[in-house]
Structure 1
Amino acid sequence: MTQLVDQPVAATATDQPAPSRLGGPVTAVAVAIGCAVLGVAVLAVTVTLGLPLLAPVVAALVLAVPLLLVRPVLFVVLVGVVEAGNLSGVGAVNGLPGGESALLALAVVAAVLAWLRGHIRPAWSPFLSVAVLYVVVQTIAVLTAQDVDTAFVAVAVTAKAMVWPVVLVVLLLAPGRGPQALARAFALTLAALAALTVVQEFVVGNDTTFAGLSTVPLAADLGGATARHAGPQDDANFWGRVLVLGFPFALSLAQMATSRWRRTLWLCAALAIFGGVVLTGSRGGLLALFVVLCFWALLAGGAALKALVLAPLGIGLALMLPGVGSRLLTLNTLGVGGLEVTDPSLEGRIAAQTSAFQMVVDHPVLGVGPGNFLLTTPDYLRRLGLDSLPLAPHNLYLEAAAEGGLLGLLAWLLLVGAAALVALRARHFARAGGSAMGQAAPLPLANAVLAALLGWSVASIFLHMATLRSFLLVAALGAALDIRARRRAAELRRERGIATDAVALDLVRPRSRPGRALRWAAAGLATLLLVLAATLWTAGGRPGTVQTVTTDMQLVVKFESDSESPSYDLDTLSRTGLVRTLAGIATSDRFEEEGLRRATELGVFVDSVTIESSASVDSGLITVTASGPDAGAATVVAFEVRAAAVEFVNTLSPLYGALPVAGEPLVKPAPEPAFDRRIALVPLALGGLLVLGLAVDLAQDGLRRRRVARGRAR
Structure 2
Amino acid sequence: MTAALLVTLTMVVLVATGALAVLVAGAVGMAPLALGLGFALYGGIVLVVQPFLGVAVLTTFSQLDAIEKLLFGFLPFSFFKTLALATALAILANGLRLRDHVRVMLQQPVVVLAIVFLMLTVVSMAGAEDKVMALASMRKMLSLVLLLLLVAMLADTPRKVAVLLWILVATSLVSSLILLVDFVLGMQLVAQSDAATTARTAEGVARSSGGSDYNPTTAASMLLVGVVFALVHALESPVWRWRLLMIAGIGSIAVVMSFARSAALAYGLVGLVLVWRYRRWQHLPLAIAAMALVGVAALPFIPAEYWERLSSLFGGAADPTLGRRFTYNLIGIDLFLHHPVFGVGPGNFVHHFTDNDYRYLPGRTLLGRELHNMYLSVVVQYGLVGAFPFFAMLVICFRQLRAVQATPCSEAMRVQALALGFAFAAYLVASLFLPNEETKYTWLLAGLSTALFVANRKELARK
State the TM-score, normalized to the length of structure 2. Answer: 0.83
Higher strand share: 1
2:407 match: 429
Structure 2 residue aligned with 1:504 = none
Alpha carbons of structure 1 residues 372 and 32: separation in structure 2 relative to 1, 3 Å: closer
Residue 660 of structure 1 corresponds to which residue in structure 2? none
Which structure shows the higher helix fraction? 2
Written as runs of structure 1 = structure 2, the 5 A alignment for 1:629-668 is none
1:178 corresponds in structure 2 to 160
Matched to 1:137, the amino acid is: L
Please say if residues 360 and 402 of structure 1, whose CA atoms lie closer than 8 Å, have aligned partners that are also in contact.
yes
Q: CA deviation at 1:90?
A: 4.9
Q: 2:338 matched to 1:362?
A: yes
Tell whether the 8 Å contact from 2:379 to 2:387 is kept in structure 1 after alignment: yes
Residue 651 of structure 1 aligns with which residue? none
CA RMSD of superposed structures (Å)? 3.9
Find the structure with the greater CA-based Rg.
Answer: 1
Residues 28 and 70, structure 1, Cα contact 8 Å, conserved in 2 = no
Q: 1:305 to 1:35 in 2, by over 3 A?
A: farther
Work out whether 1:447 is the aligned partner of 2:418: yes
Say which SS state the counterpart of residue 369 (structure 1) adopts: coil
Distance 1:484 1:361, change over 3 A: same
TM-aligned CA distance change 1:93 to 1:445, over 3 Å = same
Determine whether 1:153 maps to 2:124.
no
Distance 1:332 1:41 in 2: 66
Q: Is the 1:169–1:479 contact (alpha carbons within 8 Å) kept by the matching residues of 2?
A: yes
Whether contact under 8 Å (1:214, 1:229) holds in the other structure is no
Q: Is the 8 Å Cα contact of residues 207 and 216 (structure 2) preserved in structure 1?
A: yes
Structure 1 67/406 Cα, relative in aligned 2: closer, same or farther at 3 Å? closer
Aligned residue identity for 2:96: L
* Contact map agreement 1:374 1:392 (CA 8 A) in 2: yes
Whole-angstrom distance in 1 between the partners of 2:357 and 2:142:
31
In structure 2, relative to structure 1, the CA distance for the partners of 1:252 and 1:75 (3 Å cut) is farther
Structure 2 counterparts to residues 343-362 of structure 1, below 5 A = 343-362=319-338
Note the C-alpha offset of 1:217.
2.3
Does residue 286 (structure 1) correspond to residue 257 (structure 2)? The answer is: no
Contact 1:248-1:296 within 8 A present in 2 as well: no
TM-score normalised per structure 1: 0.56
Query: Does residue 456 of structure 2 align to residue 478 of structure 1?
Result: no
| Partner amino acid, structure 2, of 1:100 | F
The amino acid of 1:167's aligned partner reads L
Equivalent position of 2:308 in the other structure? 326
Match of 2:85 among 98, 105, 112: 105
- Does 2:203 align with 1:245? no
Q: Which residue of 2 aligns with 1:531?
A: none
CA contact (8 A) 2:259 2:309 kept: yes
Give, in angstroms, the shift of residue 373 of structure 1.
0.8
2-structure distance, mates of 1:198, 1:46:
48
Give the AA of the match of 1:199: V
Structure 1 residues 368 and 74: alpha-carbon distance in aligned structure 2, compared to 1, 3 A threshold: closer
AA partner of residue 119 (structure 2) = V
Contact 1:184 1:253 in 2 (8 A): no
| Kept after mapping to 2: 8 A contact 1:23/1:117 | no
Letter in 1 for 2:333: F
**How many angstroms apart in 1 are the aligned matches of 2:315 and 2:326?**
12
Map of 2:3 onto structure 1: 21
- Count of residues in Structure 1 that have an aligned counterpart in Structure 2: 452
For residues 229-265 of structure 1, give each alpha carbon's deviation from its aligned partner in whole angstroms, at most 9, with x where no partner exists.
0232241111111112222332355468876xx4443
Which structure ranks higher in relative contact order (CA pairs < 8 Å, sequence separation ≥ 6)? 2
C-alpha displacement of 1:148: 3.3
The alpha-carbon deviation at position 134 of structure 1 amounts to: 1.6
Q: Quote how far apart the aligned CAs of 1:283 are.
A: 0.5
Separation (CA, whole Å) in 2 of partners of 1:366 and 1:163: 23
1:42 and 1:184 mapped to 2: Cα distance? 42
1:648-700 deviations in Å (ceiling 9; x for gaps) = xxxxxxxxxxxxxxxxxxxxxxxxxxxxxxxxxxxxxxxxxxxxxxxxxxxxx
- CA contact 1:68–1:75 (8 Å) conserved in 2: yes
What residue in structure 2 maps to residue 189 of structure 1? 171
Give the stretch that moved more between structures: 20-29 or 452-461: 20-29
- Per the TM alignment, residue 20 of structure 1 is displaced from its structure 2 partner at its CA by 5.9
Match of 2:354 in 1: 378
The CA deviation at 1:276 is 2.6
Q: Which amino acid aligns with 2:451?
A: A
The alignment status of 1:84 with 2:63, answered yes or no, reads yes
1:211 & 1:460 partners in 2: Cα distance?
22
SS at match of 1:23: helix
Which AA in structure 2 matches 1:291?
A: L
Aligned residue in 1 for 2:429: 458
Q: Classify 1:304/1:154 alpha carbon distance in 2 versus 1 (closer, same or farther; 3 Å).
A: farther
- 1:318-375 per-residue CA deviation (whole Å, 9 max, x = no partner) reads 89543543321122338xxxxxx94121222122221111112222222222211111
Deviation of the 1:158 alpha carbon: 1.4
Q: Measured at CA, do residues 408 and 247 of structure 1 come closer, stay the same or move farther in structure 2, by a change above 3 Å?
A: same
Corresponding residue number in structure 2 for 1:209: 189
Cα distance in 1 between the residues matched to 2:221 and 2:116: 25
- SS for the counterpart of 1:460 is helix
Query: Gaps (5+ residues) in structure 2?
Result: none
* Distance in 2 (alpha carbons) for counterparts of 1:397 and 1:194: 27
Instruction: Give the deviation of 1:384 after TM superposition.
Output: 5.0
Q: Deviations over 1:444-495 (max 9, x none)?
A: 2211221122112111111113653222111111101111112222222xxx
Pair 1:128 & 2:111 matched: yes
Tell whether the 8 Å contact from 2:347 to 2:381 is kept in structure 1 after alignment: yes
1:269 aligns with: 247
State the one-letter code of the partner of 1:464: P
Q: Distance in 2 between matches of 1:398 and 1:46?
A: 55
Deviations 1:190-229 (A, max 9, x none): 2112201212322x431x53374998524741358x5210
Gaps of 5+ in 1: 1-18, 335-340, 493-714
Quickly say closer, same or farther: Cα 1:127–1:205, change in 2 above 3 A: same
1:274 match: secondary structure = helix
- Cα distance change of structure 1 residues 460 and 26 upon mapping to structure 2, 3 Å threshold: closer
Q: How far did residue 188 of structure 1 move?
A: 0.5
Aligned partners of 2:178 and 2:189 also within 8 Å? no
Check conservation: 2:183, 2:207, Cα contact below 8 A. Answer: no
Q: Is 1:199 aligned to 2:181, yes or no?
A: yes
* Distance apart, 1:63 and its partner CA: 1.8
Contact kept in structure 2, 1:215 and 1:229, CA below 8 Å: no
The amino acid of 2:256's aligned partner reads V
Q: Residues of 2 paired with 1:240 and 1:288: CA distance?
A: 11
Where does residue 487 of structure 1 map in the other structure?
Answer: 458
Partners of 1:355 and 1:380 within 8 A in 2: no
- SS of 1:177's equivalent in the other structure is helix
Q: Which amino acid aligns with 2:109?
A: P
Q: Which moved more, 1:154-163 or 1:288-297?
A: 288-297
How far apart, in 1, do the equivalents of 2:389 and 2:292 lie?
A: 37
Match of 1:678 in 2: none
Deviation at 1:156, TM superposition (A): 3.4
In 2, the alpha carbon distance for the partners of 1:291 and 1:48 equals: 57
**Matched residue type, 1:131:** A
* Paired amino acid for 1:37: A
Confirm whether residue 227 of structure 1 aligns to residue 198 of structure 2.
Answer: no
Q: Identity of paired residues, percent?
A: 20
Change over 3 Å in CA distance of 1:28–1:275 after alignment to 2:
farther
Shift of 1:181: 0.8
